[in-house]
Structure 1
Amino acid sequence: MSENILIIGGGSGIGQGLVQHYLQQGDEVQAISRRACPASLTKSDLNWLQLNSTEGETREDAEENVINQAVAEALKGQPGIIFICQGWLHDNQHGPEKTLRQLTAAQMQKSFAINVMQPALYLKALFGYLTKQDQVKVLVLSAKVGSITDNQLGGWFSYRASKAAINMLVKTSSIELGRYNKTAALVSVHPGTTDTALSAPFQANIPAGQLQTAAATAKRLAAVAAQLTARHSGQLLNWDGSVLPF
């Protein structure tokens, strides 16, 4: 029996992997992205919603309005599984900080804007639907380096802090959601190290066998989603479904 799947951040490496995986399974897929739909993904059972900027508003209002519009359209399909796939670590001007002395306000603001604020706005837009949809499952991509308990290496200040923040946002949101819908599952998930632009500069240091293709990561995440129940809600899960410490 086919399902309706919503992939938010469908233009990312893992997002595209998830879109492709579920299409291959025969599911109906909706994707929200700032990017145009890749030609390789154009199929009749894919609804690709590209975000468009809105003029005449403050930047913050425009951001929330376009997100609300895209989510409202996507929810017409009544998705049972929803992935939120935003993530940013570095660009040509900013790499992950090796020392606190490298931290800048600009880098921290960008990290929180993409890794925390955008997923938060999507959860806000989805919330009314999530309170009513029976056994709905939401998986927000996070990172193991956002675990405060697991942090033994230090460094990567902005990224670690933003991922710890998104884990707390998911946990707090899951508590409120559970008051309205005891069948819902809302979790954050570490997808594992995947061969995408985010990990590209650091792949030389990855032990053999740990780097996964986007297709392999998507398959693993889909398996986690398939096993999710309301008892998992609020947890930070590893790519294999095991529970990670906050």
Structure 2
Amino acid sequence: MEYLILGSGGLGTALALELTRRNEPFVLAGRHVPPGIEAGATFPMLDVDPLAFEALFTLFERLPNVIINTIGVLHDLHFMPERRVEEVDPHWLCESVRTNAWPTLALGAYLSQRMTAESDCLLITLSDLEGSLTANQQGEHYSYRMSKAALNMGVKTLALEWRERFPRAAVVALHPGPMHTPLRDPLLTMPPAETVRPPAEVAPLLLDAIRTLGPAHSGQLQDLAGHHLPW
């Protein structure tokens, strides 16, 4: 299989390193070239837009079999995860949706213009159980939760469209579980330490999980063990 990874953060880099170890072809598109990744296997992408996609996909003779979107945001230098509703900022809420939900839809739109009924492309996006309405029993993190819920709805809706237009293709949301990355550094409360894994441990599990996915799983939210998670 040939892979395209969007996002050169902790998990995106770990996926690229694991694919290097497995000697499988890939392109890593992101803001920087991580150590240990050959420059020829990377593509500088500062933003998600049609022009960037046009340049990026010239690196492939055909659409890659697997596209993994790892782009996401929980906080930045100015906004931390909200604990109370008074802390919600409308601009940050919109930015969270743009960063966490839009790249997957942008990919879906680009691919839809180039796929045929025989295309077997698998689009994977990383979601989070924090975006599940059913699983939310703690509250907090308004912008992050709402943006991931928007992503989940986008995945479900795109899957229904592709079922009719491209029945051999699939779009699936995967929940990798809590990881030791800068994304979660500012959190005041963390899951138990034994449940938080480094990206290097998550990457091979995620790649193995992807190998089990196909059109029958399109539109689902799953964990890395293949369990169907609630929206």
Q: Could you state the TM-score of these two structures normalised by the residue count of structure 1?
A: 0.87
Counterpart residue number, 1:8: 6
Q: Kindly provide the amino acid, as one letter, of the partner of residue 48 in structure 1.
A: T
Q: Kindly provide the amino acid, as one letter, of the partner of residue 40 in structure 1.
A: G
Mapped to 1, the partners of 2:128 and 2:46 lie a distance apart of 28
CA contact (8 A) 1:130 1:177 kept: no
Counterpart residue number, 2:25: 28
How far the C-alpha of 1:71 sits from its partner, in A, is 4.1
How far the C-alpha of 1:230 sits from its partner, in A, is 1.0
Q: Kindly provide the amino acid, as one letter, of the partner of residue 43 in structure 2.
A: L
Q: Kindly provide the amino acid, as one letter, of the partner of residue 66 in structure 1.
A: L
How far the C-alpha of 1:242 sits from its partner, in A, is 0.7
Structure 1 gap segments, 5+ residues each: 54-62
1:38 counterpart = 2:31: no
Q: Any idea what the Cα deviations from partners look like across 1:33-70, whole Å, max 9, x if unmatched?
A: 1x231241116xx52111267xxxxxxxxx52333324
1:240 counterpart = 2:216: no
How far the C-alpha of 1:135 sits from its partner, in A, is 3.1
1:136 counterpart = 2:134: no
Mapped to 2, the partners of 1:126 and 1:8 lie a distance apart of 14
Pairwise CA RMSD: 1.9
1:231 counterpart = 2:213: no
Secondary structure at the aligned position of 1:176 is classed as helix
Q: 1:132 to 1:85 in 2, by over 3 A?
A: farther
Worse-superposed segment, 106-115 or 199-208: 199-208
Q: Kindly provide the amino acid, as one letter, of the partner of residue 7 in structure 1.
A: I
Structure 2 gap segments, 5+ residues each: none
Q: Kindly provide the amino acid, as one letter, of the partner of residue 13 in structure 1.
A: G
- Provide the identity percentage: 28
Q: 1:94 to 1:82 in 2, by over 3 A?
A: same
Mapped to 2, the partners of 1:234 and 1:175 lie a distance apart of 7
How far the C-alpha of 1:14 sits from its partner, in A, is 0.6
CA contact (8 A) 2:68 2:124 kept: yes
How far the C-alpha of 1:127 sits from its partner, in A, is 2.1
Mapped to 2, the partners of 1:65 and 1:137 lie a distance apart of 20
Mapped to 2, the partners of 1:49 and 1:137 lie a distance apart of 20
Counterpart residue number, 2:83: 98
How far the C-alpha of 1:131 sits from its partner, in A, is 4.1
Counterpart residue number, 2:45: 51
